[in-house]
């Protein structure tokens, strides 16, 4: 009995590191997110399913007879929106709410590294997006009898699209201090993705200058990589799309990491 | 100086009975409008900008979905644009504001004020109608410019826009009051807007819908809003304008009824 009572109470001074600890913390954080979002995730999945299927079916009402191209573009664009919903649209608002109600500081005080927190959140975003994406594609195939052909490239396309979107949302949520501003920017982004980016319709249907602006934004490239993996034939600009998406993902992750690394 | 000592020391006489009458109602309305405006003043420029961008933006983005914007499509999109701009104000912004007020506790505070609740409701109506109008006008102008559509506005337009704004705000307010939970309100309004913007024959003719779905829309307000506003902007395109006005009036009545029912209840 050489330890004094005071020594027992002193917290461990070292941060636990190593892959084993990382993995453990990751699993715990995924469970944390799933548990804290459980009600939301159920509702969100339903909303996602309805919205995805709704968009796929609803677009045909815009036309007296919908051309196959239009149907194909919407059906392969809706998966991108499904993948972005949790990470880019819901995520920043959740962080904004956490800031408003005070649980933000609490979450940051937890002994997990920034990479664990980010990867756990990314996993949750994928879980929230992929099922809706599959259902929307199946419905689209049944409704329009499209020439879809899923290639193995769907795996990197989905992973990178969701990653870039989640990191963008992560950066918005963490790097912008004002919850109100976060909400506004998020809603603006939703509007852009639906209407002002060539996600749901071909690039040729928007003014040339707007297409050029979109080259610098990630959404056009997300649609390119996802569409390339879902349709047959060769696709131009897939390589550059992957590069642009990677740059966006890395820059956003760095911004979020920097914001999280600063002590408030 | 023995009588009225308390009042003299307090400097005022507490009102023990309810005040009423037309003069008091109008005075209450004026002060409620000042109160409401003061609460949202810092957000007003931003709300108007967003509202305008949304309206003009929607007018533009519907065009992107078509490989070729034919003359008929252009006409439908342009004349549907003001309707598209009005719907979010009534069905999303107003219920959202009420939901926020409920969460913050402001809602109960306002109800505790000694002004008639009908004056409080009227103040909200007027304020949001004012917010709604610039956006819908600009949406129309942007769309007419973008698609190069020739319009023939008639005096009917003013009536149509006012009726539509009043309807959207009354129904949105009634909905926000009738649904107790702010979170449910949020979900309902967002789902509603999605359904409306995609599945309503506002920027495309109702004949493109399956027959059963079109008949659902004859009863819902959204298609009828588009009809009356289109009738005010064009001549000879829409029929049964009177029926649409009747449907809108019925919805306004229903919204006002829901508002009156909730407002008149004691908790």
Q: Are A196 and B61 in contact (CB under 8 A)?
A: yes
Question: Stretch B194-215: mean pLDDT, rounded?
Answer: 86
Q: What is the mean pLDDT of chain B?
A: 84
Select the residue from B45, B53, B61 to test the A interface by mutation, using most A Cβ atoms within 10 A. B61
Among the partner residues B67, B194, B208, nearest to A61 by beta-carbon distance? B208
pLDDT band at A216 (very low <50, low <70, confident <90, very high): very high
Q: Which chain B positions have a beta carbon within 8 Å of A196's beta carbon?
A: 57, 60-61, 64
pLDDT at A12 (0 to 100): 60
> Measured between alpha carbons, how far is residue A184 from residues A180, A204, A219 in Å?
6, 29, 18
Give the pLDDT band (50/70/90) at residue B2: very low
| Whole-number pLDDT of residue A5 | 56
Residue-wise pLDDT tens digits, B66-118: 888 888 889 999 998 888 888 888 888 888 888 888 888 888 888 888 888 88
Top residue of A57, A190, A205 to mutate, by most chain B CBs within 10 Å, is A205
Q: Is the pLDDT of residue A53 over 60?
A: yes
Mean pLDDT of B201-219: 89
CB contact (8 A) between residue A51 and residue B194: yes
Which of the four pLDDT bands, split at 50, 70 and 90, describes residue A223?
very high
The Cα–Cα gap between A119 and A155 comes to 17
Contacts of B207 in chain A (CB under 8 A): 64
Q: Is the pLDDT of residue B259 over 90?
A: no
Question: Nearest CA to B225 among B191, B260, B252?
Answer: B252
pLDDT band of residue A1 (cuts 50, 70, 90) is very low
Mean of pLDDT over chain A: 85
Facing A201 at nearest CB: one of B57, B60, B65: B65
With vertex at residue A220, the alpha carbon angle to CA B92 and CA A119, rounded to the nearest 5 degrees, is 80
3-state secondary structure A28-56: HHHHHHHHHCHHHHHHHHHHHHHHHHHHH
Query: Which range has the worst mean pLDDT, A14-23, B13-22, B134-143?
Result: B13-22
Contact: B67, A54; criterion CB under 8 Å: no
Q: CA–CA separation, A185 vs A191, rounded Å? A: 10
- Alpha carbon of A58: minimum distance to chain B alpha carbons (Å): 6
pTM above 0.80, yes or no: no
Q: How many other C-beta atoms lie within 10 A of the C-beta of residue B145?
A: 12
The pLDDT of residue B124 is 86
Question: Nearest CB to A70: which of B60, B67, B195?
Answer: B67
Closest approach of B250 to chain A, Cα-based (Å): 27
What tokens does B48 get? 């108007």
CA B208 to CA B198: how far, in whole Å? 13
Kindly list the residues from chain A whose CB atom is less than 8 angstroms away from the CB atom of residue B195: 54
Residue B53 has pLDDT above 90, yes or no: no
Looking at residue B11, its pLDDT comes to 61
Determine contact, residues B188/B175, Cβ cutoff 8 Å.
yes
Q: How far apart are CA A130 and CA A135, in angstroms?
A: 9
Residue of B nearest to A52 (CA): B194
Rounded to an integer, what distance in angstroms lies between the CA atom of residue B39 and that of residue B61?
A: 33
Set of chain B residues whose Cβ sits within 8 Å of the Cβ of A67: 67
d(CA B221, CA B167): 8
B192 at interface of A, judged by CB pairs closer than 8 A? no
Query: CB A195 to CB B58 under 8 A?
Result: yes
pLDDT at A4: 57
Task: Report the Cα A220 to chain-centroid distance in Å.
Answer: 15
In chain A, what residues touch B201 (CB-CB under 8 Å)? Answer: 61
Of the two residues A64 and A2, the one the predictor is more confident about is A64
Measured between beta carbons, which residues in chain A are less than 8 angstroms from residue B46? Answer: 184
Q: Which helix (H) or strand (E) holds B247?
A: helix B241-264
Q: For residue A254, report the phi and psi dihedrals to the nearest 5 degrees.
A: -65, -45
Q: Which residue has the higher pLDDT, B21 or B253?
A: B253
Residue A65: per-residue pLDDT: 86
**B198 vs B155, higher pLDDT:** B155
Cβ separation A191–B54 shorter than 8 A: yes
From chain A, pick out residues whose CB is under 8 angstroms from the CB of B202.
Answer: none
Interface with chain B: mutation pick from A42, A62, A198, highest number of B CBs within 10 Å = A62
SS3 at position A178? coil
- pLDDT tens for residues A108-159? 888 888 888 889 989 998 988 899 999 999 999 999 988 888 899 999 999 9
Per-residue pLDDT reduced to its tens digit, A61-97 = 888 888 888 899 999 999 999 888 888 888 888 888 7
């Amino acid at each position: 009995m050489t330890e004094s009572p005071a020594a027992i109470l002193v917290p461990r001074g070292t941060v636990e590191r190593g892959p084993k600890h990382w993995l453990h913390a990751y699993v715990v954080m995924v469970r944390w997110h799933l548990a804290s979002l459980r009600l939301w995730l159920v509702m969100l999945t339903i909303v996602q399913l309805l919205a995805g299927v709704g968009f796929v079916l609803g677009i045909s009402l815009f036309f007296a007879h919908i051309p196959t191209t239009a149907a194909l573009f919407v059906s392969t664009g809706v998966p991108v929106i499904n993948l972005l919903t949790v990470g880019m649209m819901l995520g920043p608002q959740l962080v904004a709410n956490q800031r408003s109600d005070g649980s933000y500081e609490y979450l940051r005080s937890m002994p997990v590294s920034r990479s664990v927190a980010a990867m756990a959140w990314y996993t949750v975003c994928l879980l929230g997006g992929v099922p809706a994406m599959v259902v929307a594609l199946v419905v689209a195939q049944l409704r329009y009898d499209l020439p879809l052909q899923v290639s193995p490239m769907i795996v990197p396309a989905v992973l990178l699209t969701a990653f870039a979107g989640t990191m963008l949302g992560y950066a918005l949520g963490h790097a912008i201090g004002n919850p109100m501003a976060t909400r506004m920017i998020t809603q603006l982004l939703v509007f852009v993705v639906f209407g002002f980016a060539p996600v749901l319709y071909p690039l040729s249907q928007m003014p040339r200058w707007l297409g050029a602006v979109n080259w610098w934004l990630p959404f056009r490239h997300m649609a390119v990589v996802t569409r390339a993996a879902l349709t047959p034939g060769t696709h131009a600009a897939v390589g550059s799309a992957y590069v642009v998406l990677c740059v966006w993902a890395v820059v956003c992750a760095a911004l979020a990491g920097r914001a999280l690394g600063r002590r408030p | 100086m023995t009588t009225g000592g308390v009042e003299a020391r307090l400097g005022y006489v507490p009102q023990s009975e309810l005040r009423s009458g037309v003069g008091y109602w109008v005075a209450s309305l004026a002060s409620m409008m000042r109160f409401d405006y003061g609460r949202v003043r810092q957000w007003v420029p931003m709300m108007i900008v967003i509202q305008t961008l949304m309206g003009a933006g929607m007018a533009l983005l519907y065009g992107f979905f078509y490989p070729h914007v034919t003359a008929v499509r252009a006409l439908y999109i342009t004349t549907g644009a003001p309707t598209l701009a009005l719907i979010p104000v009534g069905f999303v912004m107003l219920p959202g504001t009420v939901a926020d007020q409920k969460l913050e506790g402001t809602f109960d505070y306002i109800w505790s004020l000694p002004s008639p609740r009908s004056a409080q409701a009227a103040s909200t109506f007027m304020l949001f109608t004012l917010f709604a109008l610039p956006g819908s006008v600009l949406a129309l102008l942007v769309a007419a410019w973008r698609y190069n559509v020739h319009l023939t506005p008639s005096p009917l337009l003013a009536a149509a826009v006012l009726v539509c704004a009043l309807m959207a705000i009354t129904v949105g307010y009634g909905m926000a009051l009738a649904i107790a939970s702010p979170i449910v309100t949020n979900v309902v309004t967002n789902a509603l807007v999605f359904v409306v913007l995609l599945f309503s024959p506002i920027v495309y003719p109702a004949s493109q819908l399956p027959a059963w779905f079109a008949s659902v829309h004859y009863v819902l307000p959204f298609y009828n809003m588009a009809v009356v506003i289109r009738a005010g902007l064009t001549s000879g395109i829409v029929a049964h304008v009177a029926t649409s006005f009747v449907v809108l009036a019925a919805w306004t009545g229903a919204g006002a009824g829901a508002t009156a029912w909730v407002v008149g209840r004691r908790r």
